[in-house]
Amino acid sequence: MRIAILDDYQGVSLSLADWAQLPEGTDIVPFTDHVADEDRLAARLAEFDVVCRMRERTPMPASLLERLPRLKLIAATGARNPDIDLARARELGIAVCQTSSFGLSTVEIAWWLILSLFRRAPQERDRLRSGAWQGHLGHTVQGKSLGVIGLGKLGTPVARIALAFGMKVLAWSPNLTSERAAAEGAVAVPLQQLLREADAITIHMPLSERSRGLLGAPELALMKRGAFLVNTSRGPIVDEPALLAALQEGRIGGLGLDVFDVEPLPPDHPFRYLPNVVATPHIGYVTEETYRLYFQETLENIQAFLSGRPLRLIN
């Protein structure tokens, strides 16, 4: 049996689970690079029985699955894997399973980005490393308004931390009620009002047809000129060309990003060098604790598949 582990950027997959528990002779091949081209990817995976996938880094549409006749199992990680064509996988006899996930580590990155923007911490760090001293005035978060788009699993703890900092929390979700928001100390408002009034806005919604392009040029134009926008959910929720224009024209105060339309982010992308952008390479869920959970449960899924036991199936 041959097992491919995709997008193991840090090269840690073999050290975070006891793969020796698999039958003798099992060939496990981790790939530390990312392949986006479908022809190259199909050629790479043609001789594998199992593909282990890290979250949504490598989509698996029908067009790819149909080119992998040897594939019998997709061992996905995390609780959301919308870009695997489950219907076609079933038709082709490919089992698809997933793992559980901690999830809340993204809250930490969201707040690191928010505080970095308010206090201009990355710029001050760079000055210190260059031999200089203080050069910017930051802002306190106390007394400011935080707009939370998506008061759900991740947006709720983000809002609670804002309250602990003494911020006012404005919240909007498609089905959010005033009662639900009030229970978390937030005020439910229309999206347009949130955009106009918030000093910082943080996005915590899953990507769907309803949320894709949720914030475009008209919505970004409603933001305060000095307000910050933070996105740790999915890049396409915000229209990228409109966002770049707002940043380059100074119409918003700054941007905090952990997610992008194309990942890995191209080396020459403006998000890498614009001075009013604080960006991290989609590390919201990238912790040792999360990876240990992912790879250990992936191993258990493969063992279950080989023995005919039930898998953690994607719903």
- The residue among 81 and 107 whose pLDDT is bigger is 107
Q: Are 298 and 52 in contact (CB under 8 A)?
A: yes
How big is the chain by its Cα radius of gyration, in Å? 22
CATH architecture of 2-102+287-307: 3-Layer(aba) Sandwich (3.40)
- The residue to which tokens 């996105």 are assigned: 231
Tokens encoding 214? 């949720």
Q: Which helix (H) or strand (E) holds 96?
A: strand 95-97
Type of residue found at 154: L
The one catalytic residue among 108, 263, 269, 292: 263
pLDDT digits (tens, 9 = 90+) for 49-100: 999 999 999 999 999 999 999 999 999 999 888 899 999 999 999 999 999 9
pLDDT band, residue 315 (cuts 50/70/90): low
Classify 84 as helix, strand or coil.
Answer: strand
Residue 171 is given by DSSP the state E
Is 263 catalytic? The answer is yes
- Other CB atoms within a 10 A radius of the CB of residue 279 amount to 19
Alpha-carbon distance of 36 to 24, in angstroms, equals 32
**Least confident range of 42-51, 76-85, 205-214, 280-289:** 76-85
* Stretch(es) of the chain classified as CATH 3.40.50.720: 2-102+287-307, 105-279
Q: Output the DSSP codes for 180-199.
A: HHHHTT-EE--HHHHHHH-S
The one catalytic residue among 53, 55, 204, 234: 234
pLDDT of residue 81: 85
Q: What is the share, in percent, of the chain residues with pLDDT greater than 90?
A: 95
The one catalytic residue among 53, 204, 282, 312: 282
Residue 27 is given by DSSP the state E
- Locate all alpha helices (DSSP H) within 130-261, ordered by sequence: 155-164, 178-183, 191-197, 217-220, 240-248
Alpha-carbon distance of 99 to 77, in angstroms, equals 5
Q: Is 19's pLDDT higher than 80?
A: yes
> CATH classification of 105-279 is 2.120.10.70, yes or no?
no
Alpha-carbon distance of 263 to 251, in angstroms, equals 26
Q: How many residues does the chain have?
A: 315
Q: What is the pTM assigned to this prediction?
A: 0.94
Is 234 catalytic? The answer is yes
Q: Are 206 and 234 in contact (CB under 8 A)?
A: yes
